[in-house]
C-alpha cells in the first residue's frame, strides 16, 4: 500500500495487509451466533466505557489487532478519551487516569487473561470484589472471558484490523 501525505511531497510504502487465514464465522455460523449471544449477555449491567477498556486491554495482551481496532473505535465513539485508551498498555504506571473501580477491573482482566502465570491471585479477586457487587463482578468475569474467546478467533484466523466501523457488529 502506498500512501501520500497531505503535502504531496512524501510517499510512504506500507507493508501489505495479510489475508485472513479463515473466515471462521462463515464456516461456523452457529458458533458465531452463539458468541454474539454470549457477548450480549456478558455486557449486561456493565458500564459501557469500562466494558470497552477491559476488551481493549485483554486484546492488547493477546495481540489481537482486529479486536484492538474494533474496541478502540467503539470506545472513542462512546466518548472515551484518546489519552485513557493510549495509556491502557501501561495502566499500572498511569493509574491516575483511571478510577479505583476501573483499576480493579484492569487488574482482574490481566489476571484472567494471562492464566499461564498461574491462578487469579486472591488479592486481585478480593480487590475486584471490593469495587463490584457480586452480580456485576460475575458480568465482568463473563466479559473478560468472552473477549478472550473472541481474541483467540481473531488471532488464529488472522482477522485484519483497519476495516471496522464503530458499532458495525452491534
| Short-list 140, 138, 113, 109, CA closest to 124 | 109
Place of cell 478472550: 148
Residues in CB range of 92: below 8 A, 6 or more apart: none
d(CA 91, CA 109): 12
pLDDT per residue over 11-33, tens digit each?
899 999 999 999 999 999 999 99
Residues in CB range of 151: below 8 A, 6 or more apart: 58, 59, 62, 64, 67
Residue 168 class from Cβ within 10 Å (0-12 exposed, 13-18 middle, 19+ buried)?
exposed
pLDDT per residue over 70-106, tens digit each?
999 999 999 999 999 999 999 999 999 999 999 999 9
d(CA 92, CA 70): 23
Q: What is the pLDDT of residue 64?
A: 98
pTM of the model: 0.90
Residues in CB range of 57: below 8 A, 6 or more apart: 88, 89, 91, 106, 109, 110, 113
Amino acid at each position: 500500500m502506498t500512501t501520500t501525505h497531505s503535502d504531496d511531497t512524501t510517499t510512504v510504502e506500507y507493508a501489505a495487509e495479510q489475508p485472513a487465514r479463515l473466515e471462521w464465522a462463515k464456516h461456523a455460523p452457529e458458533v458465531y451466533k452463539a458468541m454474539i449471544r454470549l457477548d450480549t449477555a456478558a455486557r449486561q449491567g456493565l458500564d459501557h466505557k469500562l466494558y470497552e477498556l477491559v476488551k481493549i486491554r485483554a486484546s492488547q495482551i493477546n495481540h489481537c489487532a482486529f479486536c484492538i481496532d474494533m474496541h478502540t473505535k467503539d470506545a472513542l465513539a462512546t466518548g472515551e478519551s484518546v489519552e485513557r485508551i493510549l495509556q491502557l498498555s501501561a495502566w499500572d504506571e498511569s493509574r491516575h487516569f483511571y478510577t479505583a473501580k476501573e483499576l480493579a477491573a484492569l487488574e482482574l482482566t490481566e489476571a484472567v487473561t494471562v492464566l499461564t502465570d498461574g491462578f487469579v491471585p486472591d488479592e486481585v479477586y478480593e480487590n475486584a470484589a471490593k469495587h463490584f457487587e457480586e452480580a456485576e463482578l460475575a458480568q465482568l468475569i463473563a466479559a473478560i472471558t468472552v473477549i478472550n474467546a473472541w481474541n483467540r478467533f481473531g488471532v488464529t484466523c488472522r482477522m485484519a484490523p483497519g476495516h471496522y466501523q464503530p458499532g458495525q457488529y452491534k
